[in-house]
Structure 1
Amino acid sequence: MNPRTTLVTGATQGLGRGIALDLAARGDTVLLHGRDRARLDAVADEVRAAAPDATVRTYLADLSDLDQVRELAAQVRAAEPRLDALVNNAVAGGGSEPLRRELSAQGHELRFAVNHLAPYALTRGLLPLLTASAHTGSAPARVVNVASIGQEALDFDDLMLEQGYEGLRAYCRSKLALIMATFELAAELDGTGVTVNTLHPAHLMDTRGVREYGLTPAVSVEDGVRPTVRLILDPELGSTTGRYFDQFTDTRAHEQAYDADVRRRLMTITDELVRGCVPTD
């Protein structure tokens, strides 16, 4: 069998770096995404040194800019012969200044943009390659969206949290939006050979984002790597789609995620916001 090819966003530190090292150690082709060229090259060198038999390629993009998300998808489609898995891991956390509301390049609330709009647009942009790879391979192509156990109901009267802003609240809302998009995409893609699942990888991993917000890490990054890689590779999960996992446990997300009307409303807004950032063919 040919090595699997997996794109990991946010691969220059924390969970993304750990996932890349794990997959490379298995001899897979790993596509590393980052937004800082120096850090991206450093992690690529580290992965190559740790796993000389793996193939490693890098992609540079700032996912807070939907134009760069579109260009990233186009570059991957043009350069890669196949894509067996996409791990949407890049994240904007609560922030070191949680009361400072930040905006994306397109003027959207930053955490909503990076944690929800960008992975949705990137997945849409890569669907032609994911679907083709599933049809030519012996296993489904998999999309794994890294969410969080921290989830807060969306308020459609203030979706971008212009009132009462706080970074962790914005983060929790954006992660619930990502979970809802996971469920909607999974239903849409059922039968295409592409599965879409989401998970809370581990609670308070030892990452820069956790420390920047002022929280004390409780577990290692490896505790989050193992359940995430399981969703990428486990053959017993080959037909599993549209599910939310708390680490290894298939469980329920926030109750709002199961309101079909709310999901449809969110996706109508999401599709409008990312219009022009995904291929139309």
Structure 2
Amino acid sequence: MDTRTILITGATQGLGRGIALDLAARGHTLLLHGRDRGRLDAVVAEARVLGPVVRGYLADLADLDQVRALAARVRAAEPRLDALVNNAVAGGGAEPLRRELSAQGHELRFAVNHLAPYALVRGLLPLLTASAPARVVNVASIGQEEIDFDDVMLERGYEGLRAYCRSKLAMIMATFELAAALDGTGVTVNTLHPAHLMDTEGVRSYGLTPAVGVEEGVRPTVRLLVDPDLEGTTGRYFDRFTDTRAHDQAYDTGARARLMALTHRLLELPGLP
């Protein structure tokens, strides 16, 4: 496949770093996002050793103003964007009973894992559509829990892993909505569970024992980005390499409409045409 320009969020460690180094070895131009300047500079230097053009973008995705600014900087600086990987994540947390909030006061996992990637896609749509065919890959999880629309931000009975699982289902539901809205634009939107219990900081900090290395999640994620056989595939949820079914609520059109209405209101966005 021809060299592409690919933006990866959360690229400074774990799965994001693994995806970045795999794509660097393939010669793609990389736009690497991180929220820590030292770690971002380190992964940019590491990827550049493999030969491609690599640029770093600093932003904290727990602050929607920084998400919007990130999209604006990329639009202004980059001539094209062939793919976006929404990989940055807030996991279950080292203190899972402590409810954390984003800069705008939203539940942290809902903000980082759902609102931020949706806002980033929307902010980058002019560049993605101008570069079409283009691909968006949302890194979700097999851990999915039904969203309670009477308590979306989990103000009652909070637990970090529950919040994480709800936010990942929200990401999947938004993937399906975006894919339908962007049909015919040349921009595809898919989501996947990359691997079970990878050896990442998030898995370890929650107290879980990693089951597989990060490379197990890199391969199915990179496939969604570069496999020519998937050109045109959109609105799908993959469990690693298998096109499969997500949580039942992801196919409830009424629930998806409620989620998107809430998302657009929180982000102060109009609906897609």
Q: TM-score with structure 1 length normalisation?
A: 0.95
Unaligned 5+ runs, structure 1? 135-139
Shift of 1:256: 0.5
Written as runs of structure 1 = structure 2, the 5 A alignment for 1:87-166 is 87-134=85-132, 140-166=133-159
CA distance in 1, matches of 2:230, 2:116: 25
Name the aligned partner's letter for residue 265 of structure 2.
E
Name the aligned partner's letter for residue 191 of structure 1.
G
Q: Which residue matches 2:165?
A: 172
Q: How many percent of aligned residue pairs carry the same amino acid?
A: 81
Q: Which residue matches 2:70?
A: 72
**Number of residue pairs matched by the alignment:** 273
Q: Which residue matches 2:55?
A: 57
Shift of 1:2: 5.7
Structure 1 position 186 matched with structure 2 position 179:
yes
| SS in structure 2 at match of 1:102 | coil
Unaligned 5+ runs, structure 2? none
Written as runs of structure 1 = structure 2, the 5 A alignment for 1:1-281 is 3-49=3-49, 51-52=50-51, 54-134=52-132, 140-275=133-268
Name the aligned partner's letter for residue 17 of structure 1.
R
CA distance in 2, matches of 1:207, 1:169: 19
Q: Deviations over 1:209-237 (max 9, x none)?
A: 00000000000100000000000000110
Shift of 1:79: 0.2
CA distance in 1, matches of 2:27, 2:229: 21
CA distance in 1, matches of 2:227, 2:106: 36
Q: TM-score with structure 2 length normalisation?
A: 0.98
Name the aligned partner's letter for residue 106 of structure 1.
Q
Shift of 1:48: 1.1
CA distance in 1, matches of 2:243, 2:3: 28
CA distance in 2, matches of 1:36, 1:271: 28
| SS in structure 1 at match of 2:55 | strand
Q: Deviations over 1:76-117 (max 9, x none)?
A: 000000000000000000000000000000000000000000
| SS in structure 2 at match of 1:175 | helix
